[in-house]
Chains A and B, each alone.
Chain A
Amino acid sequence: MMSIHINNVRKNFGNFSALNDISLEIPPGELVALLGPSGCGKTTLLRIIAGLESPDSGSISFNGEDATQRHVKERQVGFVFQHYALFRHMTVFENVAFGLRVRPKATRPSDAEIDRRVHELLDLVQLDWLGDRFPPQLSGGQRQRIALARALAVEPKVLLLDEPFGALDAKVRKELRRWLRRLHDELHITSVFVTHDQEEALEVADRVVVMDKGKIEQIGTPGDVYDNPATPFVYQFLGNVNLFHSRVHAGFARIGELEVGVPGHADTQDTPALAYIRPHDIDIQRQGNKDTLKVKVSDIHAIGPIVRLELEQGDSSEIIEAELTRERFGELNLVRGEEVFIRPRKLRVFLQ
C-alpha cells in the first residue's frame, strides 16, 4: 500500500493562485476526501498528485520516493474523471481492457488473461452483462462504475477520483457512494476523492481535508471536522448555520439581549466575535426568559422528518433558520406569523 506526501506545493494559473503552499500526508490504505467550494484548488491538487499537472514548486512523494518528475503513465495511479472520459468508440469490455492492451509486449498479459481480468473487474462493479455495449448506451451511474473498473484494471497503487458522483442525480449518487465505500473496504487501496458535497465527504471518507482559496483549512475525521471546526469557513461549509454578530465578554457571548455562556473565553474582554448556531441546535419555546430571544415565525417548511422554520428577529431583516423534529413541531403547534422564543442549545464563537 502506498502513502502519499505532498510537500509545500504551489501552483499558479496566471495571477490566480490555485494552490498556496499545500502540505498534506495521506496514510496508506485510507480513503481521503478533498472538500471545498469550486475554485478552491482541490481538483488541481488531485491532478498534481496524478501527474496530469505539475506544481510550480514543492514535491510529491509516494512511499517516501520523490515522484514529482515522474510521468503520469509511470505513477501507477488510477484516475476517475467527473465526466467519466470513457472511450466512446470502444465497447465497455475494451474500455476496461485498454490499460492492459497498451502495455509493452514484455509485460502484456495474454488475451485469455486479459479476458479473465476484465470479466473479474466487470463482476466487481456488477456490470458484467454490459461488456458488449458502448458507453453512450449506458446510464451515468453505469458509466462511472465502468470508469472505475477501467482505472482499477492497471492495478494502481493509488486511486484518484475527481468529483466522481458530481454528474449523477441524487439517488444514484447516494447508492454509488455507499458502494465506493464498500469497494474501498474490500480493496484497501489508498484513495483520494474530490468533492464539493459535504454530505458525501462526511459519509464516505476516513479523513476529510477541507480546502478554501488554495489553502487547507482543516484536516480530520468526519466527526472531527463536523463537531470541532477549526475556522469559521469550515463551520459554514459543513452544513447550514445561523450567523450572529456578537461581543464576547468574560465567558459570555452577547447577541442582542441574549447572553450565552461560551466555555474557554473566560479571560476575553469585550471582543467582537462571530457566533454560529446550527439550525438543529435551536430550541423553540412558548415562554420567554432571559436565556431566550423573541422571534416571529415567518415561514414553515414541513416536508420530510425535519420541519424547517424561518424566523425573523424584530429589528433585523436577517432570517434565522431552525430545524425541529416533527414530534416537537406537533407539540408546539406553530402557525405562521406568531411570536415565539428561541434558545440556542449550542453555539460556537470565533473572535474577530
Chain B
Amino acid sequence: MNLNLQPKHTVLPGFTPALGFTIFYLSLIVLIPLSAAFLKTSLLTWDAFWATVTAPRVMASYRLSFGAAFIGAAINAVFGLLVAWVLVRYKFPGKRIIDALVDLPFALPTAVAGIALTAVYAPNGWLGSILEPHGIKVAFTPLGVVVALTFIGLPFVVRTVQPVLEDLEAEAEEAAVSLGANRWQTFTKIIFPAIAPALLTGFSLAFARAIGEYGSVIFIAGNMPMISEITPLLIITKLEQYDYAGATAIAVVMLVISFVLLLIINGLQWWNAKRNGSIK
C-alpha cells in the first residue's frame, strides 16, 4: 500500500507556509477578538442571556438594523449597477470626477457623513425642508437610517460590478443582437446573468457593512427606543452602563445572524456558479 500524504505537487510554491500564515493571521485578527466576545457572554446564565437578547427594545433594534441594512443594500444594488453602467459604457466630460466621487463614502469619516446627512435632511435642512411639507420625514426616523446606510454602501456595489462590466465580451451582445434580440432582451438574458454574481457580491458587502455601521447612523437616526435605535447603538449604551456581558450578548447575536446571512449569500453564489457550469 502506498499511502500518499504529501500535498499534490503543484508549480505554485509555498502552499504549506501560505496556508499556515493565512490561518494564523485570520485567528489573530478575526477569530481571537470574536471569541473573546463569546467568552465574555458566557459569564451570563442562559436565562439572563436569553432575556437580554430578546428584550422588546433589542428585538426592535434587530429589525431596524437588519431591515434598514437590507433595504439600503438593495437600493445600492439597483442604483450602484446604474452608476457602474454609466461609468463603463459612456464617455462624458467629468467622468473621472464622478468615478472618484463614488469612493468618497469609503474615505469620509462616518461621523462626518452622519452630520452632513442630518444637516441636509433635518426639517430645516436643504432637502428636509422640501420633503417636510409633503409629510416625508427623513431625519430622526427609520427612513433616515436607510438613507445613511445607502450612502455608505454605494461604493461596494459600484466597485465590484464595474470591472466585470468592463470585461464583458462585446461579442456576446453582438451575437444576441444578430440573433434578433432587442435591447431589453440583450440586457436581461445576456448582460444581467453575466454580472449577477458580482452584483450579489457587491450587495452582500454593502449589506455587511451596513449592519455594522454606527457613526453615520446615530446622528440621523434620532435614536428613539423601539423606533429608530440600531443594534450597535444598544451595545454602546450597555457598555456605557458597564454592562459588558449584556453588550457582548447582543454582539454575539448580531455576529451569528450576520455570519448566517453571509453564509447564505455565499451559498447562493456557489449555487449560481454551479448552475452556470463554471464549477464542474
Contact present for A81 and B175 (CB under 8 Å)? yes
Of residues 20 to 51 in A, which have CB atoms within 8 Å of B's CB atoms? 50
Q: Is B7 an interface residue (CB 8 A)?
A: no
Determine the distance from Cα of A151 to Cα of B174 in the docked complex, in whole angstroms: 12
Q: Which residue of A lies closest to B190 (CB)?
A: A87
Q: Mark A44-66, 1 if CB is under 8 A from B, else 0.
A: 00000010100000000000000
CB neighbours (8 Å) of B42 from chain A are: none
Asked if A88 and B278 sit within 8 Å, CB to CB, the answer is yes
The reply to whether B181 and A79 form a contact with Cβ atoms under 8 Å apart is no
Least CB separation from B173: chain A residue: A85
A-B contact count (CB 8 A): 76
Interface flag for B172 (CB, 8 Å)? yes
Contacting pair A102 B189 (CB below 8 A): yes
> Are the C-beta atoms of A102 and B276 separated by less than 8 Å?
no
User: Residues of A contacting B189 with CB < 8 Å?
Assistant: 87, 98, 102
Residues of chain A within 8 A (CB-CB) of B172 are 85-88
Given contacts A89-B276, A133-B277, A137-B280, contact A99 B179 (CB under 8 A): yes
Given known A87-B190, A102-B185, contact A154–B171 (CB-CB < 8 A): no
Q: Is A103 an interface residue (CB 8 A)?
A: yes
* A52-B179 in contact given A98-B189, A137-B280 (Cβ < 8 Å): no
Note all chain B residues with C-beta closer than 8 A to A151: 178-179
**Cβ-defined contact, B194 with A88, below 8 A:** yes
A72 close to chain B: CB less than 8 A = yes
> Please, how many angstroms separate the alpha-carbon atoms of A88 and B172 in the complex?
9
Known: A85-B169, A98-B189. A79 touches B180 (CB 8 A): no
Contacts A81-B171, A81-B175, A98-B189 given; indicate if A88 touches B276 (C-beta within 8 A). yes
Q: In this complex, what residue of B is CB-closest to A147?
A: B175
Contact B277 A136 (CB under 8 A): yes
Q: Which residues of B contact A52 (CB under 8 A)?
A: 174, 177-178
User: Quick check: is A73 within 8 A (CB to CB) of the other chain?
Assistant: yes
* Complex interface: chain A residues within 8 A of B277 (CB): 88, 91, 133-137
| B176 CB contacts on chain A under 8 angstroms | 87, 98, 102
**A31, B229: Cα distance in complex, Å:** 73
Nearest residue (CB) in A for B194 is A89
Q: How many residues of B contact A (CB 8 A)?
A: 21
What's the least CB distance linking B167 to chain A, in Å? 12
Which of chain A's residues have a CB closer than 8 A to the CB of B174? 52, 72, 79, 81, 85
Tell me the complex Cα distance, A91–B276, Å. 8
Q: How far is the CB of B78 from chain A (nearest CB, A)?
A: 21
Q: What separation, in Å, do the CA atoms of A103 and B182 have in the docked complex?
A: 9
Given contacts A85-B174, A87-B172, are A134 and B276 in contact (CB under 8 A)?
A: yes
B227 CB, nearest partner CB in chain A, Å: 44
Check B175 against A79 for contact (C-beta < 8 Å).
yes
Q: From B179, which residue of chain A is reached at the shortest CB distance?
A: A99
User: In the complex, what residues of B have CB within 8 A of residue A133's CB?
Assistant: 277
A244 to chain B, nearest CB (A): 44
Let me know if B178 and A73 touch, CB within 8 A: yes
- With CB as the reference atom, state the residue of chain B lying closest to A132: B277
> Is A83's CB under 8 angstroms from B194's CB?
no
Q: Which residues of A contact B180 (CB under 8 A)?
A: 73, 99, 102-103, 154
Complex contact A98–B276 (CB within 8 A): no
A329 to B171, CA, bound (A): 50
In the complex, A278 has a CB within 8 A of chain B: no
Which listed residue, A73, A81, A83, A88, touches B181 by the CB 8 Å rule? A73
Which A residues form the contact surface with B (CB < 8 A)? 50, 52, 72-73, 77-79, 81, 83, 85-89, 91, 98-99, 102-103, 133-137, 147, 150-151, 153-154
**In the A-B complex, the 3 residue pairs with the closest CB atoms:** A134-B277, A99-B179, A85-B171
- What are 12 A-B interface contacts by the 8 Å CB criterion? A72-B177, A73-B177, A83-B171, A86-B172, A88-B194, A88-B276, A89-B193, A99-B180, A102-B179, A102-B180, A102-B181, A153-B179
Taking A102-B180, A102-B185 as known contacts, 18 extra A-B pairs with beta carbons closer than 8 A to each other, sorted by chain A number, are A50-B178, A52-B174, A52-B177, A73-B181, A78-B178, A81-B175, A83-B169, A85-B172, A87-B175, A88-B277, A88-B278, A89-B193, A91-B277, A98-B189, A99-B179, A99-B180, A102-B182, A134-B277
